[in-house]
């Protein structure tokens, strides 16, 4: 079943944020048809994920990675990396926002993604005031593309 998600820029950090999880994410390679292979370390656990391109039937396989393998592969992602801190924020109706605070060259970029159980729920969603412009489907904010930028995208929150 395809995931139903909406993505927003974030105008201001909501109150009461905890420390969040630091995520180091790097792309090993991205094919012209959008197939991507990336490695990620979050809260000490490493994974290698393969995702299909947008035009294909969605495939996503997440493979656990030993720490030593992650360390061996990380240098191969040079120039294709993201640093971010992820906060999980409970919303009404049992929804959760994944708020990503980007670091490094993307410092200043804040995005939030919300996954919905149905298209109706996605349509009826009323964004809380800290969510700004919607960027659902905007390739600029796809992590695969953000990873190769040298600065945060020009369009700023608000």
Positions in the binding site for a second copy (CB under 8 A)? 27-31, 33, 35-37, 48, 50, 52, 56-57, 59, 61, 63, 65, 69, 72-73, 75-76, 79-80
CA angle in degrees (0–180, nearest 5) for 45-60-84: 45
- Catalytic residue (choose from 8, 26, 27, 141): 27
* Residue among 81 and 87 whose Cβ is closer to a second copy: 81
Min dist. Cβ of residue 108 to a second copy (A):
27
Min dist. Cβ of residue 36 to a second copy (A):
6
Between the CA of residue 62 and those of 15, 49, 135, what are the distances in Å? 32, 4, 25
The dihedral over CA atoms of 90, 95, 97, 98, expressed in degrees to the nearest 10, equals 100
Is 27 a known active-site residue? Answer: yes
Min dist. Cβ of residue 127 to a second copy (A):
34
* Residue among 59 and 107 whose Cβ is closer to a second copy: 59
Pairing of strands 4-10, 96-102: unpaired
The dihedral over CA atoms of 111, 76, 50, 48, expressed in degrees to the nearest 10, equals -90
* Residue among 11 and 47 whose Cβ is closer to a second copy: 47
Residues that are catalytic: 27
């Amino acid at each position: 079943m395809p995931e139903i998600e909406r993505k927003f820029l974030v105008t201001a950090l909501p109150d009461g944020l905890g420390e969040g999880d630091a995520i180091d994410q790097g792309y090993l390679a991205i094919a012209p048809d959008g197939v991507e292979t990336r490695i990620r370390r979050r809260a000490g656990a490493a994974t290698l994920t393969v995702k299909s391109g947008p035009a294909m039937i969605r495939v996503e396989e997440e493979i656990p990675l030993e720490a030593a393998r992650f360390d061996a592969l990380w240098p191969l992602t040079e120039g294709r990396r993201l640093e971010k801190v992820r906060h999980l924020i409970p919303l009404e109706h049992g929804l959760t926002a994944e708020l990503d605070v980007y670091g490094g060259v993307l410092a200043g970029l804040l995005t939030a993604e919300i996954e919905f159980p149905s298209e109706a729920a996605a349509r009826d969603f009323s964004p809380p005031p800290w969510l700004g412009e919607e960027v659902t489907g905007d390739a600029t904010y796809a992590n695969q593309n953000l990873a190769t930028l040298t600065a945060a995208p020009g369009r700023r929150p608000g």
